[in-house]
Amino acid sequence: MASTLQSAQRKGLTNFSVFSVHKTVPPAIQALLDDPELNIDGFLCPGHVSVITGTAAYRSIPEAGRAAVITGFEPVDIIDGILMSLQQIREGRYEVAIQYARGVAQEGNRRARQLMAEVFEPADADWRGLGLIPGSGLSIRPEHTSLNALNRFPLPEIPSVEFEGCRCGDILRGVISPTACRLFRKACTPVNPIGPCMVSSEGTCAAYIKYEV
């Protein structure tokens, strides 16, 4: 997106704009680490994101005495990532390990990060089920304001709405399982999703139903 936006600006396009709702992983991880209600032993960090970020984005995890493994998405990747996490915990040796070595290098993609920094800057962002996480979003820098949809169009601010009884926040934080939510498989289904955990096909609640957990 950053490269596309720069290209559009160089070409002077007037029929192209970007509405940035991008979010970044490290502030969300830090919010979980800072949550006194949680007792997390480790994190399986996302493989595709890490192709760009490398390992540096997750330094706060081992610094907090937690295991961190950048993991792929195949079942064998997940199992291997869990095993590598358990090895760190057993040995008391915490680091950002790379299980997804076929796609991720320790330094990541420096040029891609540079492009991102040229176009975007950190901004506070609201996360469905989790609330506002400072610095976890990306807004378009002022020098690219001509392509910022927020400046070009009279877009209303749409507040995030939490539905009564929906416990996606607790599910996303790992406090409860989907079956502990009174809406699960009743008012909230893949056909009629209420919270983000069911809206996304990759969400925890959707996965519970798909795999009949």
pLDDT of residue 162: 80
Instruction: Please state, in angstroms and rounded to a whole number, the distance separating the CA atoms of residues 86 and 118.
Output: 38
* Domain annotation covers residue 128: yes
Tokens of 197: 């955990």
* Domain annotation covers residue 105: yes
State the pairing for strand pair 120-127/131-140.
Answer: antiparallel
pLDDT of residue 194: 93
pLDDT tens track for 128-152: 778 899 999 999 999 999 999 999 9
pLDDT of residue 80: 98
Amino acid (one-letter) located at 11: K
What sign has the CA pseudo-torsion 49, 55, 58, 61? positive
Considering the domain architecture, whether residues 23 and 98 belong to the same structural domain is answered as yes
Full-model pTM: 0.88
User: How many domains does one find in the chain?
Assistant: 2
Q: Which residues 6+ apart lie within 8 Å of 150 measured at CB?
A: 19, 140
Residues forming beta bridges with residue 121, ordered by sequence position: 139
Nearest to 58 by CA among 67, 136, 138: 67
Considering the domain architecture, whether residues 27 and 99 belong to the same structural domain is answered as yes
- Angle 2-10/110-119 helices, nearest 10 degrees? 60
CATH no. for residue 54? 3.40.50.11750
Considering the domain architecture, whether residues 52 and 119 belong to the same structural domain is answered as yes
Q: Look at residues 106, 128, 152 and tell me which one is the last residue of a structural domain.
A: 152
Instruction: Please state, in angstroms and rounded to a whole number, the distance separating the CA atoms of residues 55 and 190.
Output: 35
Considering the domain architecture, whether residues 180 and 141 belong to the same structural domain is answered as no
- Mean pLDDT, consecutive 10-residue stretches, the chain (213 aa), reads 95 94 95 93 96 97 98 96 98 98 97 97 89 95 94 86 90 94 96 93 93 84
- List strands edge to edge, sheet with 67-71: 42-46, 67-71, 96-98
Q: Which residues constitute the domain of residue 112? A: 17-152
Considering the domain architecture, whether residues 140 and 107 belong to the same structural domain is answered as yes
Considering the domain architecture, whether residues 137 and 79 belong to the same structural domain is answered as yes
* Domain annotation covers residue 174: yes
Question: Which residue is associated with the tokens 């939510």?
Answer: 181
pLDDT of residue 198: 96
